[in-house]
Amino acid sequence: MNMRNALQAMKPYTPGVLAPGKLKLSSNENPLGPSPKAMEAFQTSINNLHLYPDIAALQLRQALAAKHSMQPENFVVGNGSDEVLVILAATFLNPGDHVLVGKHTFSEYRFASTLMAAEVEAVAMNEGRFDCQTLQQAVREHTRAIFLCSPNNPTGTIIPAAELRSLLRKIPAEILIVLDAAYSEYIDDPSEAGYPFEKELLAKHANLIILHTFSKLYGLAGLRIGYSMASSTVSGMMERARQPFNVSLPAQAAAIAALSDEEFVQQSLRVNRAGKEQLYTFFRECGFAYIESQSNFICVHVHQDAQQLFLRIMEHGVTIRPLGSFGLPECIRVTIGTTAQNLQFMQAFRAACGL
């Protein structure tokens, strides 16, 4: 048996390491656990596990529509936003299409595009930031999609709203722009975030798809649920490539409940803000440069082989993410935890660095 040519070039995903008994600060999960309301809804849903879930996830899409002041037809749900990425690639990419991604960004844009035999070009970034001018200059005749990530995993930087607006105006309307906003709720600067902003962009640009996930702020990574927002026309096209019943019944129930758990959301944001300051202070004291983060993780330049440092930190009980697979071999990414988890990380980091 021969596998398809496109798959020959694909590398397996490098996940955050899950080491039993170690504190996991390697996958940007919510340190508070799942939303209590989501857990309750999950428990209730188990009585119906013999039934298929709603094929259209209508109640969930209605809840999302209410949250974003849009219509259910603007949303496509997936088994994690990872699956939504594959759905959109399957909907819009043909073999040989040219696709632009950032040089230091989430690997699934490359995965989904390569799976469809598209040709992926990684565009240089500027100190961890997307450079909209460079992106625009990289557009070619057969460019079909541009993948943006804001806040960017793993650097935590955002594309300022003004730059994004300008990029969207300049890119031809036939080119799809995917804005992965998996971490957007964590953006501290209110003028740079928010749903009215997304709605406004979507109304103006029919080639824009925005992605969100329940894996981070809502604490549901284990259930696998994410979604896209786009025009009803684009969403309708994506629906053709979506598997029926792709989001499980407990995942739909938990996500609806999580959306209503404002207390949990606010608590998660408070913990994140406090933890970010705690870790900033620590890295400054230790003399390590970090990139200011608009997210729930921090990218730190460690001036040594990050893979080796990662292994030593793990020996001291904590897993973080070495960023070699993101093209940053001397950087690590640490998920912001609770105060106690951050202290545990600091101890492990000091010991691993011999400080």
Ligand X SMILES: Cc1ncc(COP(=O)(O)O)c(C=O)c1O
Q: Of the two residues 82 and 198, which places its CB atom closer to ligand X in the complex?
A: 82
Shortest distance, position 2 Cβ to ligand X, whole Å: 30
Q: How far apart are CA 78 and CA 251, in angstroms?
A: 10
- Closest approach of ligand X to the CB of residue 351, in Å: 27
Comparing CA positions, the residue from 219, 314, 288 lying closest to residue 322 is: 314
Closer to ligand X by Cβ: residue 157 or 213: 213
294 vs 352, beta carbon nearer ligand X: 294
Residue 15 or 95: the one with the smaller Cβ distance to ligand X is: 15
3-state SS assignment for residue 189: coil
Instruction: Give the up-direction half-sphere exposure of residue 336: CA atoms within 13 A in the CB hemisphere.
Output: 30
* Beta-carbon count within 10 A of 328 CB: 19
Query: From the CB of residue 204, how many other CB atoms can be counted at a distance below 10 Å?
Result: 11
User: Cβ-count burial of 52 within 10 angstroms (0-12 exposed, 13-18 middle, 19+ buried)?
Assistant: exposed
Contact call for residues 332 and 308 (beta carbons, < 8 A): no
Which residue sits closest to ligand X, CB atoms considered? 80
Q: Taking a C-beta distance cutoff of 8 angstroms, is the pair 332, 17 a contact?
A: no
Contact of 157 with 148, CB cutoff 8 Å: no
Q: Which residues of this protein are in contact with ligand X, per CB under 6 A?
A: 28, 80-82, 106, 149, 153, 180, 182, 213, 215, 221, 226
Least separation, in Å, of the C-beta of 172 and ligand X? 25
Q: Give the containing element (helix H, strand E) for 251.
A: helix 249-259
Eight-state DSSP code of residue 293: -
- Residue whose CB is less far from ligand X, 158 or 352: 158
Nearer to ligand X (CB atom), residue 192 or residue 346: 192
If we measure between CA atoms, which residue out of 224, 187, 233, 229 comes closest to residue 212? Answer: 229
Ranges of beta strands (E only) in 79-225 are 98-102, 119-123, 143-149, 176-180, 208-213
For the CB of residue 276, give the shortest distance to ligand X in the complex, in Å: 17
Choice between 74 and 228, CB closer to ligand X? 228
Distance in Å, CB of 67 to ligand X, minimum: 16
Q: What is the DSSP string of 135-147?
A: HHHH--TTEEEEE
The minimum distance between CB 213 and ligand X, in angstroms, equals 3
Q: How far is the CB of 152 from ligand X (least distance, A)?
A: 7
Nearer to ligand X, 85 or 168 (CB): 85
Q: Shortest Cβ distance from residue 40 to ligand X (Å)?
A: 22
Tell me the one-letter amino acid at 305: D
Q: What is the DSSP letter of 303?
A: S
Closest CA to 352 of 323, 324, 325, 317: 317
Give least dist CB 76 to ligand X, A: 13
Q: Which is nearer to ligand X, 86 or 271 (CB)?
A: 86
